[in-house]
Amino acid sequence: MATGRTHRPATRSRGIPEATVARLPLYLRALTALSERSVPTVSSEELATAAGVNSAKLRKDFSYLGSYGTRGVGYDVEYLVYQISRELGLTQDWPVAIVGIGNLGAALANYGGFASRGFRVAALIDADPAMAGTPVAGIAVQHTDDLDRIISDNGVSIGVITTPPGAAQQVCDRLVAAGVTSILNFAPTVLSVPEGVDVRKVDLSIELQILAFHEQRKAGEDAAAEDEGAPPIRATPASRKGPDGDMPAVMPA
């Protein structure tokens, strides 16, 4: 039974803030584009606009990595690409395992941007025996029974969960038990992991709901101010699937 520990563990390992780490990939992408255009140097102002951030923020971010700029000139593109890549750990190979080869899992396996920077889809795992052996994106799907061995054999430390929500926690536990210490979770579930395991979640539904909130705010400037002050009596928002009609209808406040 996993105790609800979902904190990101030891984010601030030493120095370099989490917010900066989250922006480094943005900088790296912009720098790579410049590198492909053979641009030798770039100023903080140019790079900041390319990455969509403030220039002061960018300079402060880079200051955590070291003094890699030249005053009056800017930053050397190639050198900075290498430094950020090294800092992010992209100079080494990261075998990744995707668990749950449904629509989304298959799409991720086929996603080109996946393997772009050091990440390599090392294994596809699914619980459906009928899928075992089926090639997806040129890789044969393997069965969940062999999960432990697959993770070990390939030295996978990063797992991607694209299973239905009901199976996510179980898959997560098995991945962690097999040695995975970083998990990218696409299932709409709160995963409980032991200390030392990182979990990042990608949740379409949440993103849409946040957008809907702002959208409502934008549209609500004129109309839709109907019952703002007086909350409606209806304690049943819709026909919820309750076993009996025993819904509270307390209506506090």
What residue 17 binds from a second copy, DNA, none (CB within 5 to 8 A, per partner kind)? DNA
**Contact stretch for DNA (CB under 7 A) within 52-60, 167-175, 205-213, 235-243:** 52-60
The verdict on 243 binding a second copy (CB under 8 A) reads yes
Closest contact distance (angstroms) between CB of 32 and DNA is 18
Closest contact distance (angstroms) between CB of 16 and DNA is 9
The verdict on 70 binding a second copy (CB under 8 A) reads yes
- Tell me which residue of 19, 24, 12, 23 sits closest to 88, measured CA to CA: 24
Tell me the C-alpha distance between 253 and 235, whole Å.
Answer: 13
Closest contact distance (angstroms) between CB of 153 and DNA is 37
Straight-line distance from the first to the last Cα atom of the chain, in angstroms, rounded to the nearest whole number: 37
Site string for a second copy, 149-168 (x = CB under 8 A): --------xx----------
The verdict on 148 binding a second copy (CB under 8 A) reads no
Cβ atoms of 29 and 90 closer than 8 Å? no
Looking at the Cβ atoms of 56 and 247, the one nearer to DNA is 56
The verdict on 62 binding DNA (CB under 7 A) reads yes
- Tell me which residue of 68, 60, 75 sits closest to 23, measured CA to CA: 60
Site for a second copy in 21-50 (CB under 8 A): 21-22, 24-26, 28-30, 35-36, 38, 40-41, 49-50
**Contact stretch for DNA (CB under 7 A) within 63-71, 87-95, 97-105, 176-184:** 63-71
Tell me the C-alpha distance between 128 and 15, whole Å.
Answer: 45
**Given candidates 5, 12, 149, 200, which one binds DNA under the rule CB under 7 A?**
12
Q: Tell me, by CB under 8 A, how many residues bind a second copy.
A: 106
Residues in the site for DNA, rule: CB under 7 A? 12, 17-20, 43-45, 53-57, 59-60, 62-63, 67-75
